[in-house]
């Protein structure tokens, strides 16, 4: 491929990514109302400590939605239609508390938040799948997965900022942050073209290699990575929460958590250059950094040595923010394109299991043994993930058109990587 052709391909991919990145930003929606939790608790005194479920139940809704959308989207429902319906549901369920207010009751609020989680969990994995389907080059794919995660963190920061100001007016007003869903709806409606289905792409690429595409399977190793991501997230979420307990000054804790979000956004943009430098070792290295620096944070948390603790905590979060898209990238490298959407759906479901169970379990453990021991325990999952990824990084990937990951190749056989023949085929929705 000439430099001119490569430049045109990159420009084409860049245009494709505009609506996809807008969809990514919706994945940050769980925390947009955090600033209004206290006033919600006053409005619904019967909820008590359960008021925290207004945030965490979103993750519960994302779990089944992620798995289901990966199965039906592109097979029974067109991608574009699926995303647009999910965004409409996002807007309705997200803005419902604004208009219903206290009259909807705490149970009604929880139901609306669960439905909201279903909407987020429906469209978020499709954004990942579209990146997978649109980009053949490994470096470019890692770059855009990282940028997508950066958009998640940027969206989170903006929603937290505006939600805090809106909450000063009233708890229900902070839900206006979800009106942001109008922007990706317009972008998807106007700019996103209907992609080929996974089966169509697999058949096309198999035919280019003189093969026939059969039924594609998600390899068992991909599910192992999903489980490891669940454990890593499950430990990382309470570790983030512990910052509020470990740091004695609430203002410093608030600044730290805000900087953490900024670190997450910046880390997303660094995934592409890091992947270009160390390739498949990106996940093992980032997971190792996460585990080691959380150990450093735990070591200094006992004596309240704030500067070393905060450096270890924030630097460790860089590793965490890299691990999430890097794990998705590892799964895409393991999965044949015929199972792309299903793999990203299951990946989202497993990720949200960690988000949902991590905080309540963490709070319980915090009350029993304090903060330091859970911090030390949180190091084990990313270190194990690093070991697993290290064993996989040295293995050459199967061609993305291959219909099943169960086929093994002799080490003496030349590495087969499908050539990027043309920009991904996108046709208007029929």
The pLDDT of residue 105 is: 85
pTM for the model: 0.80
CA distances from 244 to 123, 235, 261 (A): 31, 16, 15
E strand map for 61-154: none
The pLDDT of residue 81 is: 92
φ, ψ at 399 (rounded to 5°)? -55, 140
In angstroms, how far is the first alpha carbon of the chain from the final one? 32
The pLDDT of residue 415 is: 38
Give the helix/strand (H/E) hosting 194.
strand 194-195
CA distances from 125 to 62, 69, 268, 347, 354 (A): 10, 8, 17, 8, 16
Residues 254, 153, 125, CA angle at the centre, nearest 5°?
A: 140
Closest-CA residue to 382 (of 310, 332, 317): 317
Q: Which residues of 211-244 are buried (b: 16+ CB within 10 A; e: fewer)?
A: eebeebbbbebbbebbebbbbbbbbbbbbbbbbe
User: Which single residue is written with the structure tokens 């200094």?
Assistant: 300
Tokens of 323: 């691990």
CA distances from 328 to 84, 107, 321, 348, 399 (A): 23, 35, 12, 9, 17
Dmax over CA atoms of the chain, in Å, equals: 69
The pLDDT of residue 402 is: 52
Q: Residue 131: which residues within 8 A CB-CB, separation 6 or more? A: 17, 20, 141, 144, 145, 148
d(CA 41, CA 39): 5
The pLDDT of residue 418 is: 40
- Alpha-carbon Rg for the chain, nearest whole angstrom, is 22
CB 192 within 8 A of CB 83: yes
d(CA 190, CA 19): 9
Give the helix/strand (H/E) hosting 195.
strand 194-195
The pLDDT of residue 406 is: 40
Helix 306-334, helix 250-278: angle, nearest 10: 40
CATH topology of domain 8-427: Growth Hormone; Chain: A; (1.20.1250)
**10-residue stretch averages of pLDDT, the chain, 430 residues long:** 55 76 80 72 78 81 91 88 94 91 85 92 90 83 88 80 78 87 92 82 70 74 89 72 57 63 80 84 83 71 63 73 86 85 91 79 58 59 76 60 42 39 38
Which sequence spans correspond to the domains of the chain? 8-427
The pLDDT of residue 214 is: 62
Q: Which residue intervals of 247-339 are DSSP H helices?
A: 250-278, 282-301, 306-334
Tokens of 133: 């389907």
Tokens of 147: 């940028």
Burial class, 304, CB count within 10 angstroms (exposed 0-12 / middle 13-18 / buried 19+) = exposed
The pLDDT of residue 408 is: 37
CB 117 within 8 A of CB 150: no
């Amino acid at each position: 491929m000439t430099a001119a052709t490569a430049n045109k391909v990159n420009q084409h991919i860049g245009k494709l990514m505009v609506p996809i990145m807008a969809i990514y930003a919706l994945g940050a929606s769980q925390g947009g109302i955090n600033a209004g939790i206290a006033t919600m608790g006053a409005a619904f005194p019967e909820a008590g400590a359960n008021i925290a479920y207004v945030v965490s139940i979103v993750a519960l809704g994302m779990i089944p939605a992620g798995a289901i959308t990966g199965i039906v989207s592109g097979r029974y429902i067109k991608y574009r239609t699926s995303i647009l319906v999910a965004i409409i549901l996002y807007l309705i369920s997200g803005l419902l508390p604004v208009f219903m207010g206290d009259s909807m009751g705490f149970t009604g609020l929880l139901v609306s938040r669960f439905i909201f989680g279903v909407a987020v969990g429906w469209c978020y994995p499709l954004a990942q799948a579209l990146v997978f389907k649109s980009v053949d080059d490994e470096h470019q794919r890692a770059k855009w997965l990282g940028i997508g995660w950066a958009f998640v963190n940027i969206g989170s920061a903006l929603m937290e900022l505006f939600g805090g100001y809106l909450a000063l007016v009233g708890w229900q007003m902070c839900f206006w942050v979800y009106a942001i869903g109008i922007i990706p709806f317009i972008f998807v409606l106007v700019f996103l073209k209907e992609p080929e289905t996974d089966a169509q792409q697999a058949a096309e690429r198999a035919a280019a290699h003189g093969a026939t595409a059969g039924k594609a399977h998600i390899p068992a190793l991909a599910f192992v990575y999903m489980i490891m991501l669940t454990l890593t997230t499950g430990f990382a979420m309470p570790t983030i929460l512990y910052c509020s307990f470990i740091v004695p000054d609430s203002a410093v804790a608030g600044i730290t958590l805000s900087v953490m979000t900024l670190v997450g956004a910046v880390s997303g943009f660094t995934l592409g250059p890091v992947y270009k430098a160390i390739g498949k070792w990106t996940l093992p290295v980032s997971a190792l950094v996460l585990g080691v620096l959380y150990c450093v944070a735990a070591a200094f948390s006992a004596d309240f040595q704030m500067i070393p603790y905060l450096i270890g905590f924030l630097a460790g979060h860089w590793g965490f923010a890299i691990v999430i898209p890097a794990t998705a990238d590892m799964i895409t490298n393991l999965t044949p394109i015929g199972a792309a959407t299903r793999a990203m759906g299951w990946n989202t479901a497993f990720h949200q299991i960690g988000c949902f169970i991590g905080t309540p379990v963490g709070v319980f453990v915090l009350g029993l043994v304090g903060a330091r021991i859970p911090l030390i325990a949180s190091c084990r999952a990313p270190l194990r993930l690093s070991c697993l990824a290290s064993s996989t990084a040295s293995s050459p990937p199967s061609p993305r058109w291959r219909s099943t990951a169960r086929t093994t190749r002799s080490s003496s056989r030349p590495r087969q990587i499908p050539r990027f023949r043309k920009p991904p085929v996108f046709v208007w929705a029929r």
